[in-house]
Chain A
Amino acid sequence: MNQHDPTATTSDTQGQKPATTPQKWAVWSAQPTSPAATETTNQTTAHYAGSAVRQTLRRFMRMRASVVCCVLLLLLTTVSVAAPLLATHDPDATDLSSSLVSPSGDHWLGTDQIGRDTYSRLIYAGRVSLLAAVEALVVSVGIGLPLGLVAGFARGKTDAIISAVTDAVMAMPGLLLAIAIIGAIGPGLTNAMIAVGVLLSPRFVRLVRASVISVRENAYIEAAITSGTSPVRIMGRHVIPNILPPLLVQAAFTTGFAMLAEASLSFLGLGVQPPQASWGSMLNSAYQTINQSSFQPIPPGIAIAVAVLAFNVIGDGLRASIGREEYRS
């Protein structure tokens, strides 16, 4: 053996691997290892077949409360969308002769102070309330997602500036800020919901930033870099899909909160403008006549409570079912 030529010594130790190794255990460099002889995906994993999304869905379906709430929200949405078909009266038609009547065959949930049918108004108001909540969500995600992505990716100075602004917004008392924004851009439901959306966006900035930073730590991001994937594609294909789970959870909670904020602002008269109604404004007008009819605040009150609760329960359900065994199942 030629000790002075390393390539010679190495080639004869590595090169001479006879295919006729007698050992029963030797797979070492016999033939390319056949799938059957090595590890095949066996029964252990068959159970988990399907993408992470499908698994999450399967787990979510097992949470009864969340599923019930989903059905409930779906029902609310359907009813709101189909309001023209389901309404028994014109929601804005006044009839002073029958003001503040109790529930009856004609007026299922009674009437308000100026004789508008509460049931019809309630389902029309559901449209406004749900739409308003979605508006606020879109605004807050629309602001929060890009800022969070930039902050999480760029780090350094950009991150510091975005985080400082975020903290400043979060430090201000919420509703007061919303009222100030509405004062500046004028009242109205859309303006109110833009204000709420701006107000809620820091939550998304923070969440997205933190998620991006933790996703970035994974070796698959570096593997994508070394695979020649462009930064934009890395963001869209490797980062965003993996920060979606917490985002979804936060979206559910935020929608619930936006609904509550809409109700508060409309209650204060800063949201929806008459004669249009939202659950919050209905509650407001019912509240003013609570001495004459103690029943009137109940329908909008229940509607708000149920819808907000539903969003929160769904958020909890999502949180419990997403990514529980992301790794090492």
Chain B
Amino acid sequence: MKTSGPDLAPLLRVEGAQVHFRTTRFGRRRTVQAVRGVNLEIVSQETVALVGESGSGKTTLARAIMGLDPLHAGSIMLDQHRIDNLKGAALRSLRSKLQMVFQDPYSSLNPSLSVGASVAEPIRNFFGYSGKKLDGAVEELFERVGLLAEHRHRYPHEFSGGQRQRIAIARALAVQPQLVICDEAVSALDVSTQNQILSLLGDLQRDLGVAFLFVTHDLSVVWHIAHKVAVMYLGELVEFGPVDDVLLNPSHPYTQSLIAAVPVPDPQLARQQHRATIAGEVPDPANPPSGCSFASRCPHSISRCSQESPDWDFVQTPNWRVRCHLHNEL
């Protein structure tokens, strides 16, 4: 039974978040607008998937929430406290509520530390445990994520990708965070290992009540893990809603084409329905188009789309929102 609902204040509230990067490309300085005004809410104990193509800004948004990339504008509230303007010690103490699991299990563990020491680090930093108490906590975490406790003295190179990701999850959960951001946490794994990790995350959510922000490009994974899905395109959210609604009846043309592009794992069905692939790739985020950012690739776009940026609109319920001028007609 879930107690969360629209009446409760959200655990995480992102408002008007913008992240800009200055880069040089072919010798010219330019500003890349990686995230362009995103609003996002996560209720406690729920899993929100953030999906989009590479270059959509999904990882940047996740990093901004973690405080790893600075916000250019907007605000981020965690548990009703503003967190995007924290610095130094205040920022460090916030980290216990917010943790991250990184994409590459091979670079996310320090090769010169035993895996137990990596997991112990946040516990010592935040809870001040040491000696037996610390070791006991690490032991418990190892067992919790399905690893043998005696393996905590080993070094990262002795583990497979899936095991390393379990260790990274143990480290993230060590300080009992309220929200864990998983940045493509299962993309580097074989499908069977991936499912084991997904299953573990589901168990942990049920037992510990942690919320997840799951950044991924894989929509079939989203189906199996998320409660809600946020679709991002060129630094903006274009659709946000419950996973069943968004993935089965997508109302934004971009969501529709993303879903249409997922290979159908059934040879007969695959032959019957010829996929309509969308042409082109994500435009240059340094020169985002005016109007709807998807207009240039959208099969349905009309002249209004490239002039006027669409506003959020409800689809059926206030929980399901979309930014498209035409979503009612499609």
Contacts and interface: CB of A to CB of B under 8 A. Distances in A.
A and B touch in the complex (CB under 8 A): yes
Interface of A: 3-7, 9-11, 13-15, 17, 27-29, 32-35, 38-41, 45, 48-53, 217-220, 222-230, 237-238, 241-242, 325-329
B80 interface: no
A242 B111 contact: yes
Interface in B76-101: 92-93, 95-96, 98-100
Interface string B283-318: 000000000000000000000000000000000110
A248 to B, nearest CB: 13
Given A4-B316, A226-B100, A48 B113 contact: no
B112 A52 contact: yes
B68 A225 contact: yes
Interface string B30-60: 0000000000000100100000000000000
Contacts of A33: 146, 196, 199-200, 203
A253 to B, nearest CB: 22
Contact of A51 (B5, B96, B122, B155): B155
A81 B175 CA distance: 53
Interface string B117-132: 0100110011000000
Contacts of A229: 121-122, 125
A221 to B, nearest CB: 8
B155 A52 contact: yes
Contacts of B195: 27-28
Interface stretch (B20-28, B158-166, B214-222, B257-265): B158-166
A55 to B, nearest CB: 8
A229 B2 CA distance: 34
14 contacts: A3-B316, A6-B228, A6-B317, A10-B242, A11-B227, A14-B227, A29-B202, A33-B199, A39-B193, A45-B158, A218-B107, A223-B108, A228-B126, A229-B122
A6 B43 CA distance: 12
A227 B110 contact: no
- B interface, size bucket: 35 or more
B320 interface: yes
B230 to A, nearest CB: 13
Contacts, number: 169
A40 B111 CA distance: 20
Most buried by B among A228, A325, A326: A228
B144 A230 contact: no
Interface secondary structure of B, over-half rule = mixed
Interface in B176-195: 193, 195
B157 A48 contact: yes
Given A10-B244, A237-B110, 19 more contacts: A6-B319, A9-B245, A10-B228, A10-B242, A14-B202, A15-B1, A15-B2, A33-B146, A33-B196, A33-B203, A35-B148, A41-B159, A51-B112, A52-B111, A217-B107, A223-B100, A226-B66, A226-B100, A326-B157
Contact of A39 (B99, B125, B162): B162
Given A33-B146, A222-B68, A241-B112, A4 B317 contact: yes
Contact of A328 (B96, B106, B146, B151): B106
Nearest to B317: A4
A228 B93 contact: yes
B254 interface: no
Interface in B1-24: 1-2, 4-6
B61 to A, nearest CB: 16
A10 B171 CA distance: 28
Contacts of A51: 112, 114, 155
B275 interface: no
B163 A39 contact: yes
3 closest A-B pairs by beta carbon, nearest first, are A6-B242, A10-B227, A227-B122
Nearest to B224: A28
B237 interface: no
